Structure 1
Amino acid sequence: MNKRQLGSSNLYVSEISLGCMSLGTDHDKARDIIDRALDAGINYLDTADLYNFGENEKIVGEAVKGRRDDILIGTKVGNNFTPGQEGWTWDPSKAHIKEGVKDSLHRLGIDYIDLYQLHGGTIDDPIDESIEAFEELKGEGLIREYGISSIRPNVIKEYVKKSTIVSVMMQYNALDRRPEEEVLELLSDNGISVLARGPLAKGMLSSDGPQKAKTKAEDGFLDYSQEEVLSISKKWQDYTNNERSAEALALQYVLHNPTVATAVFGASSVKQLEDNLRYLEAEPLSEQTFNELQALTKAITYQKHRS
């Protein structure tokens, strides 16, 4: 599988990667999904301390035993919680970040984290303090690189200006083109990569897209009405064939921009994983087809979630 450099770091991630939030809590089932993903050439697994209140990290850690040298593990911090209890509070403080990494390392059963990410953030956070924590962890060898997971343009701009982040994880797909309008060029100019989450738009750009749109877009989706999403989902299928599935097309769309290092998709079954792995056999996406896909959708901008 092709790999792309993560920012200016020494980390090279597979073009498609596995977001582990959807794995569930059945350890055997989750292991089967992760094993198949790794066997297919995926080398990046993305988790977070908040997923199932730490259980997801444990599952990932168990699944990668004996294969650690072959893969990159990313996790996230910033939500203060007590395992076994519902609810959490936002805490981007230096103290929490430095304590959180120890908890994540313990649950994952590893000595270092390849990519440690702030799991959200606002412009009112103690950003300098958060950055200081990540820089110290990097110096201590507990993390290799750090980034943020955010769709807030003003927060992203602060981290671009003040930190040495190598990545920003954000929602990006053909229906949510907000990053194209404001963020991708900024990150490209500063040598920072994007981890594109939600590349299939909640399944609305998958082979079952029209059916998914009936429920996922019941109240609309971003600036689209349900009718518009249904229309796009149906037209999306017109660009598929035996050489390229709807899933592959969705992944190719976000990967068309070189600022995107990897498209991070979720999978709750091996079948769902296999559907996304068809990307590996897809015919290349031409510039003409990409432009036609763009013409199907809207160039929308961030209205909410700015700071």
Structure 2
Amino acid sequence: MTERQLGKSGLRVSAEGLGCMGMSEFYDPKQMDDAESIRVIHAYLDAGGNFLDTADMYGVGRNEVLVGKAIRDRRGAVVLATKFGNVRGPSGEFLGVRGDPQYVRDCCEASLKRLGVDAIDLYYQHRVDPKTPIEDTVGAMADLVKAGKVRYLGLSEAAPATIRRAAKAHPIAALQTEFSLWSREPEEAILPTVRELGIGFVAYSPLGRGFLTGQFRSVDDLPPDDYRRNAPRFQGDNFRKNLQLVEKVGEIARARGCSPSQLALAWVLAQGEDIVPIPGTKRLKYLEENLGALDVSLTADDLAQVDAILPAGAASGDRYHAQALKAIDQ
């Protein structure tokens, strides 16, 4: 698998990462299978991938334990990314966002223990804490680098001004933000900012939480307890309007001889060598399909056709519900 460098940091990762969140929570939670998820992680690594993405909040720590178990005998082949900042209670309740220095230190120690590793390769602040100056948060993260517990620092869903302040406190290797054919907001200000500062861009949900795969025909295709039922783009008229857009993208994919998901991932990959998508899956067949996107080369005409169907702002509905939206772009 080819690699890409995250900005000017020197950190090189696979051109396509593997998001592990859905293995432990949110998407069809009753179908979670740790053994199958580990097989998926191993298959990804065997295919030449090295970039695994998790967070302390996924499954309230369970996902880090799962990833740690999967890489126990393969640590040297993995660039391991995890995150802190979203506070959850023991029953999974969301309790807000924290970025104060003591919390940063405590979270890192807990993640290291769950993952079973001595150091985290890329440590993100998952959401920015508006109550704590970003300089204080990044300062505490920088101390972890000095202590050898973390190699590189990252931010997630941070606003341009925050990114600039953070980069002055310590080099930032990567910014992780949602980016896909139907979430193109970063094009306006985020991507220009990180490119100016030499920061890599990691695109999460590059398949629009599965919508861009074309596998959903109605909201009833989602399990009753699936997190996406609460997402505005999966509801009511928004679903129907977005489905029409996805069907048109599917027509282009068929003409190119690839699947809709491969086209969507190839589009993200084509937006710049500094962008690394991290599609998530817990099924081997979808992993294989996603990796196939690396072999899809889109022409300028292909990109123009896609852009005509899904220009920035074309998706119907917000990408998060109202409460979650308060925590992004801080």
Is TM (by shorter chain) over 0.5? Answer: yes
The answer to whether 1:115 aligns with 2:122 is yes
Paired residue type of 2:269: L
Q: Tell me which residue corresponds to 2:162.
A: 155
- 1:123-138 residue pairs with structure 2 within 5 A? 123-138=130-145
Q: Secondary structure at the match of 2:135?
A: helix
What's the CA shift for 1:147? 0.5
Partner SS, residue 274 of structure 1: helix
Alpha-carbon distance in 2 for matches of 1:306, 1:62: 33
Partner secondary structure for residue 212 of structure 2: coil
Alignment RMSD (CA, Å): 2.7
Q: Which of these residues, 193, 206, 210, is aligned with residue 213 of structure 2?
A: 206
Corresponding residue of 1:290: 303
The residue that corresponds to 1:6 in the other structure is 6
Which secondary structure state, in structure 2, belongs to the residue aligned with residue 147 of structure 1? Answer: strand
Deviations 1:100-153 (A, max 9, x none): 111111111111100000010144432111011111111111111010111544
Residue 31 of structure 1 and its aligned partner are, at CA, apart by 0.8
Structure 1 residues 64, 15: closer, same or farther in 2, change over 3 A?
Answer: same
Picking from 250, 274, 299, the partner of 2:312 is 299
Hey, what does 1:47 align to over in structure 2? 54
Instruction: Give the Cα separation in 2 of the matches to 1:213 and 1:183.
Output: 35
Q: CA distance change for structure 1 residues 209 and 240 in 2, over 3 Å: closer, same or farther?
A: farther
Moved more, 119-128 or 288-297: 119-128
Name the counterpart of 1:237.
250
SS of corresponding position for 2:277: strand
AA partner of residue 5 (structure 1): Q
The residue that corresponds to 1:228 in the other structure is: 241
Q: Secondary structure at the match of 2:210?
A: coil
Cα distance, 1:87 vs structure 2: 4.1
Rate the CA distance shift 1:89–1:270 in 2: closer, same or farther, 3 A: same
Are the structure 2 counterparts of residues 202 and 125 from structure 1 closer, same or farther at C-alpha, using a change threshold of 3 Å?
same
Q: Does the 8 Å CA contact 2:36/2:283 hold for their aligned counterparts?
A: yes
Within 5 A, what are the aligned runs for 1:69-88?
69-81=76-88, 83=90, 86-88=93-95
Give unpaired runs (5+ residues) of structure 1: none
Q: Which moved more, 1:265-274 or 1:194-203?
A: 265-274
Instruction: Say if 2:17 and 2:278, in contact at 8 Å, map to a contact too.
Output: yes
Aligned counterpart, 2:172: 165
SS in 1 for 2:209: coil
Q: Which runs of structure 2 are paired with 1:21-36 in the superposition (5 Å)?
A: 21-24=21-24, 26-36=33-43
The code of the aligned residue for 1:101 comes to C
TM score, norm. by length of structure 2 = 0.83
Specify the SS of the correspondent of 1:51: coil
Determine whether 1:265 maps to 2:261.
no
Contact between 2:219 and 2:239, CA under 8 Å: does it hold in 1?
no
Give the % identical residues. 31
* Equivalent in the alignment of 1:279: 293
Q: Deviation of residue 39 (structure 1)?
A: 1.2
- Cα distance in 2, alignment partners of residues 110 and 220 from structure 1: 38
Question: Structure 2: how far apart are the matches of 1:112 and 1:61?
Answer: 12
Which amino acid in the other structure matches residue 277 of structure 1?
L
CA contact (8 A) 1:192 1:259 kept: no
* CA distance 1:260–1:225, change in 2 (3 Å): farther
Query: C-alpha distance in 1, partners of 2:209/2:219?
Result: 8
**2:113 partner amino acid:** H
Unmatched 5+ residue regions in structure 2? Answer: 25-31, 223-227, 319-324
**Offset of residue 23 of structure 1:** 0.9
- The one-letter amino acid paired with 1:237 is G
- 1:219, CA displacement in angstroms? 4.9
Aligned position for 1:246: 260
Written as runs of structure 1 = structure 2, the 5 A alignment for 1:52-63 is 52-63=59-70
